[in-house]
Amino acid sequence: MHRGQAWLPAGYGACVKLVLAFHGTRDPRGVAVCSEIASMVAAAVDVPVVVAYADVLQPDVRSGVDGPCVVVPVFLAAGYHVRVDIPAQIGARSDVVVTPPLGLDAVPAVRDRLRQAGFRRGDVVVLAAAGSSDARALADVRRAASLVGASAVGYVATASPRVADVVAGIVGRRVVVASWLLAPGAFHGSLASCGADVVAGPVGAHPLVVDALVRRYYGARGVLSRSA
> Are residues 185 and 130 located together in one domain of the fold?
yes
The pLDDT value recorded for residue 140 is 92
Tell me, yes or no, whether 168 and 211 share the same domain. no
- Judge if 98 and 141 occupy the same domain: no
Longest dimension (CA), the chain: 65
In this predicted model, what pLDDT tens digit does every residue of 46-61 receive, in sequence order?
899 999 998 777 899 9
Shared domain check, 115 and 34: no
Structural domains counted in the chain: 2
Q: Is 142 inside a domain boundary?
A: yes
According to DSSP, the residues that pair with 97 across neighbouring strands are: 70
Report how far residue 107's alpha carbon sits from residue 158's, in angstroms, rounded to the nearest whole number. Answer: 22
Q: Identify whether residues 135 and 111 lie together within a single domain.
A: yes
Q: Let me know whether 187 and 111 are in one domain.
A: yes
Q: How far is CA 93 from the centre of its chain?
A: 24
Q: Is residue 21 part of a domain?
A: yes
In a domain, 4, yes or no: no
Q: What is the pLDDT of residue 156?
A: 94
Q: Are residues 117 and 128 in the same domain?
A: yes
pLDDT of amino acid 183: 93
CA angle 220, 1, 53 (to 5 degrees): 50
Domain carrying residue 95: 17-103+205-227
Residues 65 and 85 grouped into a single domain: yes
- 57 by Cβ neighbours in 10 Å (0-12 / 13-18 / 19+) ranks as middle
CA-closest candidate to residue 166, choices 158, 223, 157, 175: 175
User: Residue 226: what pLDDT?
Assistant: 59
CA–CA separation, 198 vs 173, rounded Å? 12
Identify whether 3 is part of a domain: no
Verify that 125 and 154 share a domain, yes or no.
yes
Is residue 9 domain-resident?
Answer: no
Q: Collect contacts of 152-156 with beta carbons under 8 A, ≥24 apart.
A: 152/124, 152/126, 152/127, 153/126, 153/127, 153/128, 153/129, 154/126, 154/127, 154/128, 154/129, 154/194, 155/128, 155/129, 155/130, 155/131, 156/128, 156/129, 156/130, 156/131, 156/181, 156/187, 156/190, 156/191
110 and 98 share one domain: no
Low-confidence ranges of the chain (pLDDT < 50): 1-13
* Category of 126 on φ-ψ map: left (φ > 0), alpha (ψ -120 to 50) or beta: beta
CB 203 within 8 A of CB 179: yes
What pLDDT was estimated at residue 14? 57
Query: How far apart (Å, rounded) are the C-alpha atoms in residues 32 and 26?
Result: 11
Give the closest residue to 20 by CA, choosing from 37, 3, 43.
37
User: Residue 224: its pLDDT value, please?
Assistant: 66
Closest listed residue to residue 206, CA positions, set 53, 64, 78, 74: 74
Write down the pLDDT at residue 57.
79
Kindly report the CATH number assigned to the domain that includes residue 130.
3.40.50.1400
100 preceded by cis ω (within 30°)? Answer: no
pLDDT at residue 10, as a whole number: 41
- Are 99 and 123 within one domain? no
Is 189 a member of any domain? yes
Is residue 211 situated within a structural domain? yes
How far apart CA 70 and CA 124 sit, in angstroms, is: 39
- Establish if 99 belongs to a structural domain: yes
| CA 111/CA 179 separation, integer angstroms | 10
pLDDT in tens, 105-121: 999 999 999 999 999 99
Position 9 scores a pLDDT of: 42
Residue 191 sits in the same domain as residue 131: yes
